[in-house]
Chains A and B, each alone.
Chain A
Amino acid sequence: MPPRLLRLSLHFLSARPAARLTRTTPHYPPRPIPTSTSSPRAYHAYDRPTPPPYPPTETAILTAALGRVPAHGFSKTALALGARDAGYLPVSTNLFPAGEMELVKFWCTKARLGLGGTVEKEGLPEGGVRGRVKELVRRRLRMNVEGGVVGRWGEAIALMAHPTYAPTALAELSRLADEILFLAGDASLDSAWYAKRAALAGVYAAAETFQTQDTSPGCVDTERFARERLGDVESLGKAFGDVGEWVEFTVHGVLNGLRSKGVRL
């Protein structure tokens, strides 16, 4: 990989001009938004509501089951009680072949989509993609506290680490990283796209693991941890970039030196 590309790809959250967060508002009374959300559109559009990730019955049962998580954890019991709360039978949990993992996935999805909601409601701080990413990670970690799942999140991590469910968990993590960078207004289309998402996902997973052991009020330690790790990634990216620049310079120097000695290159 040429050094320049390397620098680009590793320069995580580099200080490129921040893309405008404000979504381009149509300069015409917006088209009527279709009320039916059943169409299985696989693409994202700004002026269309995203279809809900779960059908209504599943949403009702899982939402009720989440209310039981603080007492019963991410377990079949919570799911069965949730089904009953929603007017179904405990055996109706056969609707979820993944069992308690579906509950974990539902929480992750709900929180991820909720992130967009907070941006629309509270806005985001000005000043660069980096700052916004930090703020969004802080908000997402805070959701675990406010949703009441933080005391049980260790169980969820154990489930997500299970080989059967690891692919689902990784997919969800990458979607979260993507969502955060998207909401932060990152518009890169180069190879750094992957590096940024991978780095952010790594930091976020570490922060969540930290959170399971965090005893500070409101998990402020976790927030500090995440902030610092994101700072590390930035300086690491910068360091890699600097090293790349140095390598590029040195190689050019050597090549030019050789050329001056008459070597055909």
Chain B
Amino acid sequence: MATSRIARPLARRLNARHVLSTQATPLRAFSYALPARSEQPPRTTHFGFETVPEDVKQSRVASVFSSVATSYDTMNDLMSLGIHRLWKDHFVRALDPGINPLIATPGAPPLSILDVAGGTGDIAFRLLEHAGRVHGDNTARVMVADINPDMLAEGRRRAAGTPYLSQGRLEFVEANAEVLSMVPDASVDIYTVAFGIRNFTNIRKALAEAHRILKPGGVFACLEFSKVGNPVLDAVYKRWSFGAIPLIGQVVAGDRKSYQYLVESIERFPSQTEFAGMIKEGGFLLPEGGGWEDLSMGIACVHKGIKPVEEKVRAEEPVKAEKPIYIRPSNPAQIPY
């Protein structure tokens, strides 16, 4: 039973590939002189284990999150046994947002944070609370951007119970992480994305956009499911995620397909090393130790990158070609050793 459940997505993937390959070379009748070459195969991306055209993924992710929005918190608690709260707390504590007013530069703009894919406000509330409680910073501002209006509605509903909305420190915006045109260049101190980046259609494009809007020295911080290093734990975890999570989804939220997508998308997300490499390629500096920190043995993982400050001195320095270490003298008498 369980094996068939695990094998099913695989079979589906094979099916999807098969369908795609037959579409790529359309049948043609003898009356055609040339093959139908004008139609480019659509650019594809992953949707769980399925391969779908890029423009389809966005709407399908949207439908997933629309359907889970109301039961999002309950489901997170059930699926992660409550551990997602610890991960989020740790993520925010390690990020340490907030500027103590005692050491703040007078007249400097308040700390500006953009929380992408944070519709329900989970991370945003924690960020603001940390800034106030730890640093006494009561001016930090968070903009929550999410592509999904249902998730944003959920966040707005919950924000009504906090003081931040009335203070004008919290803002909810519907936006695609790949096109954050409402945010000017170099204007954000911290860019956070928690359990969202694996749903992006084009992660590299989103990273480039993050690089654009961050101030030099600003931090890109991402909390996401990742790969478990320990094979024994990995086997248990896989069994749990493919066996239990869609079932919980079916029973509690009445929606199996969405949760099947969630676990498949976790499986498809790149490993720690690969994703850190993508962040580095995006032009970020990685912190000490490879730029990531595993949580719960790698079930979740915090990735960070810092946008470098362009230094004039370093830019002016001519790039020196790698010199050969030792050139053998042509005169044998000069050979030293």
Q: Measuring CB to CB, which residues of chain A are less than 8 angstroms from any residue of chain B? A: 26-28, 31-32, 34-36, 55-58, 76-77, 80-81, 83-84, 87-98, 102
Closest to B134 in A: A76
Q: Do A94 and B221 touch across chains, with their CB atoms under 8 A apart?
A: yes
* Contacts A91-B97, A102-B288; A97 near B293 (Cβ below 8 A): yes
Q: Which residues of B contact A77 (CB under 8 A)?
A: 100, 103
Q: Which residues of A contact B97 (CB under 8 A)?
A: 91
Bound form: Cα–Cα A95–B218 in Å: 10
Bound form: Cα–Cα A102–B288 in Å: 10
Cβ of B190 within 8 Å of any chain A Cβ, yes or no, is yes
Known: A90-B99, A95-B285. 8 other contacts (CB 8 A): A27-B336, A31-B326, A34-B322, A87-B311, A89-B216, A89-B217, A92-B218, A94-B304
Interface centre among A26, A28, A88, A102 (most CB of B within 10 A): A88
Interface centre among A27, A36, A87, A95 (most CB of B within 10 A): A95
Closest to B105 in A: A84
Q: Measuring CB to CB, which residues of chain B are less than 8 angstroms from any residue of chain A? A: 94-97, 99-100, 103, 105, 111, 189-190, 215-219, 221, 285, 287-289, 293, 304, 306, 308-309, 311, 314, 320, 322-323, 325-327, 336-337
Closest to A88 in B: B217
Q: Do A92 and B217 touch across chains, with their CB atoms under 8 A apart?
A: yes
Bound form: Cα–Cα A91–B218 in Å: 7
Q: Which residues of A contact B337 (CB under 8 A)?
A: 28
Q: Return the 3 tightest CB-CB contacts between A and B, nearest first.
A: A28-B336, A88-B217, A89-B217
22 contacts between A and B (CB under 8 A): A32-B325, A34-B322, A34-B325, A36-B320, A36-B322, A57-B285, A57-B306, A57-B308, A57-B309, A80-B99, A80-B103, A87-B309, A87-B311, A88-B217, A89-B216, A89-B217, A91-B189, A94-B306, A95-B306, A96-B288, A97-B289, A97-B293
Q: Do B96 and A89 touch across chains, with their CB atoms under 8 A apart?
A: no
> Smallest Cβ distance from A242 to chain B, in angstroms?
46
Contact of B314 among A26, A56, A81, A93 (CB under 8 A): A56
Q: Do B111 and A97 touch across chains, with their CB atoms under 8 A apart?
A: no
Q: Which residues of A contact B219 (CB under 8 A)?
A: 89, 91-92, 94
Q: Which residues of A contact B105 (CB under 8 A)?
A: 84
Q: Which residues of B contact A28 (CB under 8 A)?
A: 336-337
Q: Which residues of B contact A94 (CB under 8 A)?
A: 94-96, 219, 221, 287, 304, 306
* Contacts A94-B304, A94-B306; A89 near B314 (Cβ below 8 A): no
* Contacts A28-B337, A35-B320, A91-B190; A97 near B288 (Cβ below 8 A): yes
Q: Do A92 and B323 touch across chains, with their CB atoms under 8 A apart?
A: no
Closest to A93 in B: B96
Closest to A94 in B: B219
Q: Do A91 and B217 touch across chains, with their CB atoms under 8 A apart?
A: yes
Q: Do B287 and A96 touch across chains, with their CB atoms under 8 A apart?
A: yes
Interface centre among B94, B96, B293, B304 (most CB of A within 10 A): B96
Closest to B97 in A: A91
> Smallest Cβ distance from B328 to chain A, in angstroms?
11
Bound form: Cα–Cα A227–B219 in Å: 47
> Smallest Cβ distance from A256 to chain B, in angstroms?
53
Bound form: Cα–Cα A199–B320 in Å: 45
Q: Which residues of A contact B218 (CB under 8 A)?
A: 89, 91-92
Q: Which residues of A contact B215 (CB under 8 A)?
A: 89
Closest to A99 in B: B96
Q: Do A81 and B103 touch across chains, with their CB atoms under 8 A apart?
A: yes
Q: Which residues of B contact A95 (CB under 8 A)?
A: 285, 287-288, 306
Bound form: Cα–Cα A112–B14 in Å: 59
Contact of A31 among B189, B217, B311, B325 (CB under 8 A): B325
> Smallest Cβ distance from A56 to chain B, in angstroms?
7
Bound form: Cα–Cα A34–B326 in Å: 10
* Contacts A28-B337, A94-B304, A95-B287; A89 near B189 (Cβ below 8 A): yes
Contact of B288 among A35, A76, A98 (CB under 8 A): A98
Q: Which residues of B contact A92 (CB under 8 A)?
A: 217-219, 306
Bound form: Cα–Cα A207–B244 in Å: 58
Q: Which residues of B contact A27 (CB under 8 A)?
A: 336
Interface centre among A80, A94, A97 (most CB of B within 10 A): A94
Q: Which residues of A contact B336 (CB under 8 A)?
A: 26-28
Bound form: Cα–Cα A71–B314 in Å: 30
Closest to B289 in A: A97
Bound form: Cα–Cα A140–B218 in Å: 36
Q: Which residues of A contact B322 (CB under 8 A)?
A: 34, 36
Bound form: Cα–Cα A80–B105 in Å: 12
> Smallest Cβ distance from A204 to chain B, in angstroms?
25
Contact of A76 among B96, B190, B309 (CB under 8 A): B96
Bound form: Cα–Cα A11–B308 in Å: 52
Bound form: Cα–Cα A55–B320 in Å: 18
Bound form: Cα–Cα A81–B104 in Å: 9
Q: Do B288 and A87 touch across chains, with their CB atoms under 8 A apart?
A: no
Q: Which residues of A contact B325 (CB under 8 A)?
A: 31-32, 34
Closest to A26 in B: B336
Bound form: Cα–Cα A31–B97 in Å: 50
Bound form: Cα–Cα A56–B285 in Å: 11
Bound form: Cα–Cα A81–B103 in Å: 8
Q: Which residues of A contact B99 (CB under 8 A)?
A: 80, 90
> Smallest Cβ distance from A246 to chain B, in angstroms?
49
* Contacts A34-B323, A56-B314; A91 near B111 (Cβ below 8 A): yes
Q: Which residues of A contact B285 (CB under 8 A)?
A: 55, 57, 95
